Amino acid sequence: MSRLSSTDTPVTEAADGDEAEVVETDEAREALLAKIEGELGDAVVGSHLAPGDDLWVRVDRSAWAATGAYLKNGLGFQYFNFLSGIDWKPSPFGRDMDAQVDLTLGHDEASEIDMSIQPGVAGGETRFQVFARVNDIVNGLGVTVKVDLPDDDLSVASWVSVYAGANWHERECWEMYGISFEGHPGLRHIYLPAGFEGNPLRKDYPLLARRLKPWPGIVDVEQMPDDDEEENVS
């Protein structure tokens, strides 16, 4: 029992039989993946299925618009959730902006910067990826779609004609990563002032706040309940 347990609730054992057994197969998502692969063929270059949880599909850049159209019109994924980008190349600044106290807390191996690109779920071959998520609210399914973008041509087809809501998300992605969307009705800055230089969410864009004033780091960590002083040093 916790030290700080409330006095006005009876302490009952949490004997909740809610331990859902691990779902090993996920027929709905497997069928969905099969349909996407059947429609797009070789354009599906990677996928990852977490049973009972989520689905990732990575498609070829040439099939990006077709993927959106098929998801919406063919499969009934009417709900546009979000679209964004990711920069897989780690920051060249490494952790030198972090406080010394962090570096000593079991993070010595990061002193040399690993600049290799390690792709995430469903793979990837390039530094930049665009990913979007759409939902089928009738069947309660969501799918995250990714696309690789080569460094020398950071552009991909726009989804605005399929999902109207992609408009602002693509503007944000263009502004933050410098990825352009072909067929977008007006790629303008959305958050940053017009004429802003640079793409802030790229990993090689330095965070000046950290440069000017180093972060104090993980200091003054509060006590966890039932945590003894001896265990604190890990």
Residues of this chain that interact with other proteins (CB under 8 A) are: 1-2, 4-14, 16, 54, 56, 72, 78-82, 84, 86-87, 97-98, 102, 105-107, 110, 118, 120-121, 131, 133, 137, 140, 142, 144, 162-165, 167-168, 176, 189-193, 200-201, 205, 207, 210, 215, 218, 221-222, 224-227, 231-232, 234
Q: Are 33 and 47 in contact (CB under 8 A)?
A: yes
How many angstroms separate the CA atoms of 145 and 37, rounded? 13
- Give the nearest distance from C-beta 220 to other proteins in angstroms: 11
Closest contact distance (angstroms) between CB of 152 and other proteins is 23
> In whole angstroms, what separates CA 95 from the centre of its chain?
21
Name the residue nearer to other proteins (CB basis): 129 or 154: 129
Q: Which is nearer to other proteins, 10 or 38 (CB)?
A: 10
- Tell me how long the chain is: 234
> Cβ distance 75 to 141 under 8 Å?
no
CB atoms within 10 A of CB 199: 19
In angstroms, what is the minimal distance from the CB of 40 to other proteins?
21
The phi-psi region of residue 183 (left if phi > 0; otherwise alpha if psi is between -120 and 50; otherwise beta) is left
Work out the widest C-alpha separation in the chain, in whole angstroms.
Answer: 64
Query: Which is nearer to other proteins, 41 or 185 (by Cβ)?
Result: 185
How many Cα atoms occupy the beta-carbon half-sphere of 129 within 13 Å?
24
Beta carbon nearer to other proteins, 20 or 38? 20
Q: Kindly state the smallest distance separating residue 28's Cβ from other proteins, in Å.
A: 13
Beta strands 54-59 and 44-50, pairing class: antiparallel
User: CB 143 → other proteins: shortest distance, Å?
Assistant: 11
Nearer to other proteins, 34 or 137 (CB): 137
Of 111 and 232, the one with the shorter C-beta distance to other proteins is 232
